Amino acid sequence: MGIIKNFFGRFSKDLGIDLGTANTLVYVRDKGIVINEPSVVAVNERTGHVLAVGQEARNMIGRTPSHIVAIRPLVEGVVSDFEVTEKMLKHFIEKVHRETFTILPRPRIVIGIPLGVTEVERKAVEDAALNAGAREVFLIEEPMAAAIGARVPVQDATGHMIVDIGGGTTEIAVVALGGVVTSKSLRIAGDELNRNIVAYHRDQFNLLLGERTAEELKIAIGSASEDVDVLESKVRGRDIITGLPREMTVSSEHVREAIGRSVKLFSDAIKDTLESTPPELVADIYERGILMSGGGALLRGFDKVIQKITQVPVKVVDDPLTAVVRGTGRVLEDIEALRDIFVLSTHDERIMK
């Protein structure tokens, strides 16, 4: 068996994957990040064929005939459509190996997963990756991967707090000695902010926006704090009363009001996690600050809001969108030395039982 694995390993590239609700990023050992595309698959329901994956499929959302559906196979950080997730992973694995002319790529894969996922949810990720062509799958909790990606010495006795705000989940964790000491996982994140913006414009202005338009508005002018410059943007949607298209100018104050409740939920969860952290580690966190990663960390003034509530310095990591996948990549470089930080696979659990 070992000989076969070595044979496949010689022709396959080991991959680190951030399998996100909004985006999937792929890191290839010795090459860096080679794929950063939306976690969307367009499927022809009549034939079952995959028509497009990633950005091309995302462009189809809300624009397809009835028999073509653009599916987001991950909801709140976990696999909701097993077959489509498998097809998406297979597409990305083959895309990475296309230039090497490998007939049957069988890479080792490190995948980031949310905190506190169930055994069934973990097994879904493992099985999807194995069925897509992986010869071995290693799972790592996303905040741990983000901390490693931010070059935090996670195996030291010093405590570090990382807040990873993705598309479907928000992961808050205090890490020390290669493990998560205290944590909180919220199944609300960037996608929820988009829904807040849609609901606000519907209720306040009778204007129906698409979620993609809401996301673009959030990125363009969104802010969590009053201490940032007021920005404006034009937005187009459907007037609920007339049913006709309408354009209006929206300010960052409107967006802040729309997402205010969710921002408070994030801040309260971070505060609660700090309150349940051992005093020695709290002292470390106060000295080193809270680290923020994920797309949510890019929301203007969010770090200021958290700093004000917790009274602890807050730093956004370099390139927060790629912190998790960079962490999986660093783990790939030395899998044997870092085995202790992996989540026990469902296969290993069954052996131990």
Nearest in space to 202 (alpha carbons), one of 265, 251, 254, 263: 254
Under DSSP, is residue 45 helix (H, G, I), strand (E, B) or coil?
coil
Residue 56, annotated as binding a ligand: no
Residue 308 labeled ligand binder: no
* Those residues with Cβ within 8 angstroms of residue 217's Cβ, 6 or more apart along the chain or in another chain: 197, 209, 233, 235, 250, 255
- DSSP state at residue 241: T
Residues 48, 234: Cα–Cα separation, whole Å: 39
Annotated ligand binding at 158? The verdict is no
141 is in an annotated binding site: no
What is the Cα–Cα distance from 189 to 169, expressed in whole angstroms? 5
310 assigned ligand-binding residue: no
168 is in an annotated binding site: yes
- Assigned token pair, 137: 């799958």
H helices within the chain, ranges in order? 2-11, 55-58, 82-97, 119-131, 142-149, 190-205, 211-221, 252-275, 279-288, 302-310, 323-333, 346-352
Tell me: is residue 169 an annotated ligand-binding position.
yes
Please state, in angstroms and as integers, the Cα–Cα distance from residue 110 to each residue in 75, 113, 184, 242, 313, following that order: 20, 10, 22, 51, 31
Residue 297 labelled as part of a binding site: yes
- Give CA 207 to chain center in angstroms: 29
C-beta separation of 86 from 132 below 8 A: yes
Distance separating the N- and C-terminal Cα atoms of the chain: 24
The answer to the question of whether 176 is labelled as a binding residue is no
DSSP conformation class of 259: H
Is 298 one of the annotated binding-site residues? yes
β-pair partners for 70: 42
Q: Which residues are annotated as a binding site for ATP?
A: 21-23, 167-169, 215-218, 295-298
**Binding residue ranges:** 21-23, 167-169, 215-218, 295-298
